Amino acid sequence: MDKEKIFDAAQKSILEYDANRAKEVVQQALTDRIDLIELMNKGFIPGITKVGELFGEGSLFLPELIQAADAMKAATVIINEAVPDKAAVKSGKIVIGTVEGDIHDIGKTIVVSLMKANGFEVYDLGRDVPTEKFIQKAEEVGADIIGTSALLTTTMEGQKKLELALKKSGLKGKYRTIVGGAPVTQRWADRIGADAYAENAIDGIKKAKLLIGIL
Ligand code: B12
C-alpha cells in the first residue's frame, strides 16, 4: 500500500477509536517495510494530537478519549516490540517512566520507541512511578539518564521531587535528568534543576545524546 495512505489510515484509526484497525495498520506497515518511526510521527501522533485538541475544545468526551488512547496504545505496543533493539551500538542507558499519580503514558512510550531505535538501552518503568523507584532502578542498572514524563500540572511536582531526592541522597550529577510532557517547559526544567527538557520525542533523543556527550 502507498506510504501516505498508510499514514492516513493510522491517523484515521485513532480518530475513529479503532484499536483493531490501528493494529492492522501497523501489521500492514510491517509487511510493506515502512519505517515504523515515520509511521508513528506522520500517522499515529497527528491522530492522537487531533483527539487531544477535540477533547480540549469540548467536542469529544472522556469515553471517546479513553478509546482513542487505547487504540494509540495498541499501536505503540506493537511498534515498540518491532523496533529493532540496536544491541551492538548501545549509546547509553536510560531509566524512564511517568511520574507518580499520573497514568498518561502514550508520549512516554513513543519516547521509549525512539530511544530504542537510536541505540539506547531503555528501562521503561511504566506509569505512576514513585520517585524512589526511578532512583532504585538507575542504581541497579547503572543508568546514565533518568527521564520523567508528566502530563498533569499537579503531577509535574513528581519531577521536582526526583531532583530533590537525588540531591538529598548525593546522587545529583551521577545521573543526568531529562523532563518531558505537555505542560512541562524549559523554564520548569531550569526551576527544578533538571539537566534537560525535551519538547517531543525527537528533541528528547537529541538532548539525551547531548547529555551523555555523543552529539
Ligand atoms: C490521552 C489522554 C488521556 C488518556 C491517557 C491514556 C494513556 N494511556 O496515556 C486518559 C483518558 C486515561 C486520560 C486521563 C486523564 N486526563 Co488526560 N489527556 C490525554 C490527552 C488528550 C493526550 C495526551 C497524549 O497522549 N498526547 C500525545 C502524546 C504523543 O504527547 P505527549 O504526552 O505530550 O508526549 C510527547 C512530548 O510531551 C514528549 N514527552 C512526553 N513525556 C516525555 C518524557 C521524556 C523523558 C521526554 C524526553 C519527552 C517526553 O514526547 C512525547 C512524544 O513526542 C491530553 C491532552 C493534551 N493536550 O496533552 C489530556 C490531558 C493531559 N488530560 C487531562 C486530564 C485532566 C486528565 C484526567 C484528570 C481526566 C479526568 N477527569 O479523569 C485523567 C488523569 C488521570 C491520571 N491520574 O493521570 C488534562 C490535563 C490538564 C492539566 N493541565 O493538568 C489534559 C491536558 C486534557 C485537557 N485539555 O484538559 N487522559
Residue 202 CB–ligand 1 contact under 6 Å: no
* Contacts of 210-214 spanning 24+ positions with Cβ under 8 A: 211/144, 211/145, 211/176, 211/178, 212/91, 212/92, 212/144, 212/145, 212/176, 214/91, 214/92
C-alpha 207 – ligand 1 centre gap (Å): 21
Count Cβ atoms below 10 Å from residue 30 Cβ, excluding itself: 14
User: What's residue 31's pLDDT?
Assistant: 94
Amino acid at site 111? V
User: What's residue 41's pLDDT?
Assistant: 86
pLDDT under 70: residue ranges of the chain: 1, 84-90
* Atom of ligand 1 lying closest to residue 154 CA: 84
Residue 121 CB–ligand 1 contact under 6 Å: no
Q: Is 180 helix (H, G, I), strand (E, B) or coil?
A: strand
Annotate 31-65 with b (16+ C-beta within 10 A) or e (fewer): eeebebbebbbbbbbbbbeebbebeeeeebeeebb
C-alpha 160 – ligand 1 centre gap (Å): 18
**Per-residue DSSP letter, 214:** -
Cα–Cα distance between 201 and 215 in angstroms, integer? 16
Count Cβ atoms below 10 Å from residue 198 Cβ, excluding itself: 22
C-alpha 182 – ligand 1 centre gap (Å): 7
User: What's residue 140's pLDDT?
Assistant: 97
Question: Which candidate, 87, 89, 193, 208, places its Cα nearest to that of 143?
Answer: 208
* Atom of ligand 1 lying closest to residue 204 CA: 47
Amino acid at site 129? V
C-alpha 152 – ligand 1 centre gap (Å): 7
Residue 94 CB–ligand 1 contact under 6 Å: no
Cα–Cα distance between 123 and 135 in angstroms, integer? 12
User: What's residue 5's pLDDT?
Assistant: 95
Residue 178 CB–ligand 1 contact under 6 Å: yes
Task: Yes or no: say if 95 and 129 are a contact pair by the CB < 8 Å rule.
Answer: no
Residue 110 CB–ligand 1 contact under 6 Å: yes
Cα–Cα distance between 42 and 109 in angstroms, integer? 16
User: What's residue 15's pLDDT?
Assistant: 95
Residue 43 CB–ligand 1 contact under 6 Å: no
User: What's residue 90's pLDDT?
Assistant: 63
Residue 176 CB–ligand 1 contact under 6 Å: no
User: What's residue 89's pLDDT?
Assistant: 53
Q: Report residue 28 as a C-alpha cell.
A: 500492514
Whole-structure pTM value: 0.87
Return the residue whose CA atom lies nearest to atom 32 of ligand 1.
107
